[in-house]
Amino acid sequence: MTVSLRLLDRQTFGDLGTFVARARRLDEDGAARLVGHGAVLAVYVSPLHGGGGPTVLGLRTLALAEPSDLDVTVPLAALGDRLAAAPTGTTEAVPLPVPPMTASGASWAGMSPPRTGWDPRGLVEPGLLRRVAEEGIARVAAGTPDGAGALAVARLRALVWGEPIPGLDDVPAGVAFAAEALGFLTAATDDEPAALLRRGPWVRVTTATGHVLGRRSPLG
């Protein structure tokens, strides 16, 4: 039986579509973990994981028109297809059939970041996150010439994105990369510092448009 979620309205539906599209640009073969809890849908993606680098998750929370109790991990491509096929023109609750297939190889989805109990640890300027992301992207591009093997690229990405953000020794640079690439740093948020929170091995950076959770590699 196909499970269907009912997103609160067309704007919420559009927000999810944008989030999924950005995540697919980062990892076409990636996955999304959908966790329904009451009237809230948490959608996790992972722009960075494995290869000896940090595990970095992007998170959007969206309102549901009907409560849900769901926890599935599905291919981003399949989820994107269902978003593209949804009805248009309505301002009321929008149904979203959940893909019936389970994503393979998404080991990161087995990690469960804490939902509560986060310890506030100050603020982070969006400009710092954007600068770290841009510098890291440039380093990865410069270090991966044509013909570079997949293993070499993975090692470089793990090195660059596993380095700490300047002044934040336990926050990997990959957190900044995900915040920028997933659209959590916008002109509207430039004057509003992001919140930094920690709990156990996890760190979380929260802006007005989403959350990025990071966990260093056990080898880091």
What confidence score (pLDDT) does residue 85 get?
Answer: 83
Q: Are residues 157 and 209 in the same domain?
A: yes
Position 168 in a domain: yes
Are 201 and 173 in the same domain? yes
Residues 118, 111: Cα–Cα separation, whole Å? 16
Residues 31 and 123 in one domain: no
Q: Are residues 159 and 209 in the same domain?
A: yes
pLDDT value, residue 83: 92
- Please give the tally of structural domains in the chain: 2
- Does 125 share its domain with 91? no
Contact assessment for residue 31 and residue 152, using Cβ atoms and an 8 Å cutoff: no
pLDDT in the model for residue 151: 84
Confidence of residue 6 (pLDDT cuts 50, 70, 90): very high
DSSP string, 59-105: EEEEEEEEEEEEEEEEEHHHHHHHHHTS--S--S-EEEEPPSSPPSS
pLDDT for res 2: 66
User: Is 99 in the same domain as 136?
Assistant: no
Q: Is residue 110 in a domain? A: no
Answer yes or no: do 126 and 90 share one domain: no
Long-range contacts of residues 215-218, Cβ cutoff 8 Å, at least 24 apart: 215/54, 215/55, 215/56, 215/111, 215/113, 216/54, 216/162, 216/170, 216/172, 217/52, 217/53, 217/54, 217/55, 217/158, 217/162
Structural domain ending residue among the three candidates 39, 72, 104: 104
What would the pLDDT profile of 62-90 be if each residue is shown by its tens digit? 999 999 999 999 999 999 999 998 766 66
Q: Do 80 and 154 fall within a single domain? A: no
Q: What is the pLDDT of residue 188?
A: 64
Low-confidence winner among 64-68, 91-95, 125-129 (lowest mean pLDDT): 91-95
Same domain, 12 and 96: yes
112 — pLDDT class (breaks 50, 70, 90)? confident
Q: Based on the fold, state whether residues 134 and 93 are members of the same structural domain.
A: no
* pLDDT, mean over the chain: 91
96 lies in the same domain as 20: yes
* pLDDT for position 219: 43
Look up the domain containing 207 and give its range.
Answer: 119-215
- Calculate mean pLDDT across residues 92-101: 91
- Does one domain contain both 124 and 99? no
Instruction: Supply the Cα-derived Rg of the chain in whole angstroms.
Output: 17
